[in-house]
Structure 1
Amino acid sequence: MTVLASTSTSPSAAAPRGKAEGAGLVVDTVEQKYPSTTASSAANSTLSTPRNCTQEDGLVDRSCATSTVGSSCKVEDDAEQVTNSKPAALGRSSTTTSSTSSSSGTTSKNILRMVLRFPYTITNLFFLQKKFLSHRLLGFLFLVQYAAEVYLYFTDYEKFKSSILVWSVPLTGFVQSLNAALTFRFLPRKEDPGFAAVADKSVLSYYTVRENSFYAMQLLWICCYLQCPDGFWRGFYDEKVVKNLGIAPQIEIDPHAATLFSTETVPPPGGLVVLSDESSVFSMTSSVEVDTARAGSYHDVLGTGGNKFFFFQNNSFKPVFQRVFFFLLEPIFVFFVFYFRSVFWPVSRIRNAVKNAKNKSPENAWSLTASAYAIKVFYLFAKHFVSYFPNYLIFLGRITEEDRYLLYGIQVIGAYACTISIFIHTLKFKNYIGPMTAMVAYDVIIPGYFYLYWNMRHVLLRNYDLFVICGISLVLNLGPLQIWHAYHAVIAAVMIFARIRSMGGLSSGAGGRSGAGLSPVPTEVGNLFSF
């Protein structure tokens, strides 16, 4: 943050004028003139528009003491204090530093003020402004769900994985990203991303907003895909079609596992019931006996009573859905999603943010440049080990319950990276937080990711063939994209062949899960280097 101060030899000289370069990066432009009187009368004069100079993290509360021919302003941005002063007229001098006790008192008062104003800030930010109302309401809905998701993940994982939050949080984030792409089309179309972690004087690029919808879509996919085979497969399960495809898992239904459209299940009293509904669009052509003591009671998106959605057999719609999933969606999202990104989404490049010296204030230039390089390295890692690696694990049927717990943690952080990172930029340009606070709030995800991957290093070592494949992909990504895309086409062919040859597909992991109601696949896809 730049602190402006000036001296002037004329009593009627104008105060410095600030210019905002970024959207929402507000710097007040004020022209103040003082009468040619003594320094005392100038100090006591009332200013119609005060110049903003002090910013505390979390709220905007600025003040500036100005003398006849000089100004002294103090800017506090988090722990950072910058003092700029000039000698005053008539032999008077202004203090260049404040005492430690005074600074502590000011900081404490501002923190208290920030806490007291928090309810008003939230209400004003999301509900009192009519402009972009749908975007604001979606953002509020996401934040509420995300807070609940984080709480459940760390306090009650079993309830977390059986809750709708597993898919509703990324779904809300994806819808929010689409809303932003349609709403903020007035933003400049440039390859310099302009977000808070790489620049403090730049407008957010529309390309960055559009790109965010891609990452949100990818997050929604992996969160649903992680439910395999416990839940996601149930909506597509049909024994005859599965056998004909030869590439999908043979599973039994686990009534207590998370599903894409279920909430927590509560088993009814024991006994056998016969499910048959000839009148439903999703009707059953044959009766199926279900042990309700074991199967439980489900909620489904169609509102047809739960069990009918999951236990209907031989219905004419299911083969179509299965083939769309197995032959279109799964290969695209597992192997070729970044190829389609280059075709359908614009690209913003962090290297352009590094090269552009005008998007950073001098005092924050070094920190923002270091942040940009850190994010560039992290994106390269995340593309291969946060995106490709979990997809490969699930595709080859190697994921265990322990793996799923760790990977869900990665997706919880992923929701922060996709959606809350843009919210951080909003807070910055509305001056609720300073540029350095915004940078740190974004960059905190980097050590978070690496900490989780350190905890799951045994997963990387156990699947060292996938680790090597992703590592080679990372290196090739530094070269021509044509070679990189061709490499992934070869990897796709190898993995699809390996899965068909294994005649298994997805399993619950080596040895299966005891007592979970799943029949482990006879053979999971083994080490690819052995094929």
Structure 2
Amino acid sequence: MAYSILTSRYALHKAVGAYYLALFGRILYLLLSNPLESYSESYFWHYPCLLHAVGLMQSLTALISFNFLPRAQKQEGFFGDKTTVSKAFVTENAYFVLLCIFASLYVAPQGRNMIKSLRVIEPLMIFFPFQTLRKCFPKTSFERNNTDKSSKNNSKFFQLSKYIASYFYLFGKHYVGNMLNYCLFLNLDTPRFRGLFYWILLGGGYNLTIGIFLHTLKFRKVLGPKLAIGAYLLGYSISGIPTLLIMSNI
């Protein structure tokens, strides 16, 4: 298996993906081994930052390796079974990975001190992440997803999945992307808060990076459409449950 990864056409992309999955498993193990404890110690806090940095590399290698992807399309194929996503979709995905990199740094006291020393970066990313950096990336829409990109047998399932994903996207954008960072900005975090936030970041990594991997398996017909999308939606529970627990204590 290792030989096939290193010698295939997409060797770099596969190698980065394998490393990402290994990191994801390591973080999951650490979180399960030490639930709700303080994860600001030097042995852990850099792991989420590294995970999302590798996730960003995965997006970049996908853009370089998958030349067959269309530059952009009116309807993306993420929630469909007839086509794939565009390069615009993958590029937009990289923007949200960047937000996760920032949050991974900011949630840890060590990383937060470093960001505060940069002065301009902190207010920019806390108060204006969707008004500044967002303009450098293309925008796609779940609402324009899968109208004619899915077969008749799967269209209702994909439509429902699209609504679920849209809800979590809006919730994550305003609550996770803004409110939780505000709490960190005001130093309202506790060890429990940080422990739960790391679960949220892990869920974000699952949906942003592993979600694209699941889509690739769906497109290549390694996984069935419903199984692939079902596995993708499962990722929302990784971040959704700790989000509710944080809400109950704010």
> Is the shorter-chain TM-score for this pair beyond 0.5, marking a shared fold?
yes
Given the alignment of the two structures, is residue 337 of structure 1 paired with residue 216 of structure 2, yes or no? no
Summarize the Cα distance change of 1:168–1:424 in structure 2 as closer, same or farther, 3 Å threshold: same
Q: Which residue does the alignment assign to 2:103?
A: 222
Q: Which residue does the alignment assign to 1:403?
A: 193
Summarize the Cα distance change of 1:346–1:185 in structure 2 as closer, same or farther, 3 Å threshold: farther
8 Å contact kept, 1:191–1:205: no
Q: How many Å apart are 1:179 and its aligned residue? A: 2.5
Q: Which residue does the alignment assign to 1:148?
A: 26
Alignment of 1:247-258 (within 5 A): none
Given the alignment of the two structures, is residue 376 of structure 1 paired with residue 149 of structure 2, yes or no? no
Q: Which has the higher contact order (CA 8 A, sep 6+)?
A: 2
**Distance in 1 of aligned mates of 2:92 and 2:67:** 13
Alignment of 1:153-302 (within 5 A): 153-156=31-34, 161=40, 162-163=43-44, 164-188=46-70, 189-195=72-78, 198-228=79-109, 231-233=110-112, 235=114
8 Å contact kept, 1:200–1:360: yes
**Distance in 2 of aligned mates of 1:234 and 1:351:** 39
| Secondary structure of residue in 2 paired with 1:363 | coil
2:85 partner amino acid: L
Please list the CA deviations of residues 419-456 of structure 1 after superposition, one character each: whole Å capped at 9, or x if unmatched.
10011112112222111111101111234433222222
Please list the CA deviations of residues 40-70 of structure 1 after superposition, one character each: whole Å capped at 9, or x if unmatched.
xxxxxxxxxxxxxxxxxxxxxxxxxxxxxxx
Summarize the Cα distance change of 1:396–1:185 in structure 2 as closer, same or farther, 3 Å threshold: farther
Which of residues 145, 151, 167 is equivalent to 1:353?
A: 145
| Secondary structure of residue in 1 paired with 2:248 | helix
Q: Which residue does the alignment assign to 1:454?
A: 244
| Secondary structure of residue in 1 paired with 2:138 | coil
Alignment of 1:427-438 (within 5 A): 427-438=217-228
Moved more, 211-220 or 198-207: 198-207
The runs of 5 or more residues in structure 1 that have no matched partner are 1-119, 237-247, 249-321, 463-531
Q: How many Å apart are 1:406 and its aligned residue? A: 0.9
**Distance in 1 of aligned mates of 2:93 and 2:59:** 6
**Distance in 1 of aligned mates of 2:112 and 2:233:** 36
Q: Which residue does the alignment assign to 1:364?
A: 154
8 Å contact kept, 1:149–1:160: no
How high is the TM-score relative to the length of structure 2? 0.89
Q: Which residue does the alignment assign to 1:138?
A: 16
**Distance in 1 of aligned mates of 2:234 and 2:150:** 20
Please list the CA deviations of residues 459-499 of structure 1 after superposition, one character each: whole Å capped at 9, or x if unmatched.
3xx3xxxxxxxxxxxxxxxxxxxxxxxxxxxxxxxxxxxxx
Summarize the Cα distance change of 1:432–1:398 in structure 2 as closer, same or farther, 3 Å threshold: same
8 Å contact kept, 2:20–2:55: yes
Summarize the Cα distance change of 1:383–1:180 in structure 2 as closer, same or farther, 3 Å threshold: same
Please list the CA deviations of residues 260-317 of structure 1 after superposition, one character each: whole Å capped at 9, or x if unmatched.
xxxxxxxxxxxxxxxxxxxxxxxxxxxxxxxxxxxxxxxxxxxxxxxxxxxxxxxxxx
**Distance in 1 of aligned mates of 2:91 and 2:126:** 21
Summarize the Cα distance change of 1:235–1:351 in structure 2 as closer, same or farther, 3 Å threshold: closer
8 Å contact kept, 1:152–1:159: no
The runs of 5 or more residues in structure 2 that have no matched partner are none
**Distance in 2 of aligned mates of 1:219 and 1:433:** 27
2:158 partner amino acid: L
Q: How many residues align?
A: 245
**Distance in 1 of aligned mates of 2:14 and 2:240:** 32
**Distance in 2 of aligned mates of 1:133 and 1:174:** 17
How high is the TM-score relative to the length of structure 1? 0.44
| Secondary structure of residue in 2 paired with 1:456 | helix
Please list the CA deviations of residues 375-410 of structure 1 after superposition, one character each: whole Å capped at 9, or x if unmatched.
111111110112111210111111111111111111
Q: How many Å apart are 1:132 and its aligned residue? A: 2.1
Please list the CA deviations of residues 328-385 of structure 1 after superposition, one character each: whole Å capped at 9, or x if unmatched.
211121111112354211111111115x2x2011111110111111111111111011
**Distance in 1 of aligned mates of 2:137 and 2:66:** 16
Q: How many Å apart are 1:127 and its aligned residue? A: 3.4
| Secondary structure of residue in 1 paired with 2:84 | coil
Q: Which residue does the alignment assign to 2:209?
A: 419
| Secondary structure of residue in 2 paired with 1:406 | helix
RMSD between aligned residues: 2.1
Q: Which has the higher helix share?
A: 2
Summarize the Cα distance change of 1:423–1:351 in structure 2 as closer, same or farther, 3 Å threshold: same
Alignment of 1:84-163 (within 5 A): 120=1, 124=4, 126-129=5-8, 131-156=9-34, 161=40, 162-163=43-44
Summarize the Cα distance change of 1:451–1:233 in structure 2 as closer, same or farther, 3 Å threshold: closer
2:175 partner amino acid: F
**Distance in 2 of aligned mates of 1:222 and 1:165:** 12
Q: How many Å apart are 1:206 and its aligned residue? A: 1.3
Given the alignment of the two structures, is residue 388 of structure 1 paired with residue 178 of structure 2, yes or no? yes
Name the % identity. Answer: 27
Q: Which has the higher strand share?
A: 1
8 Å contact kept, 2:81–2:225: yes
Summarize the Cα distance change of 1:235–1:203 in structure 2 as closer, same or farther, 3 Å threshold: closer
| Secondary structure of residue in 1 paired with 2:131 | helix
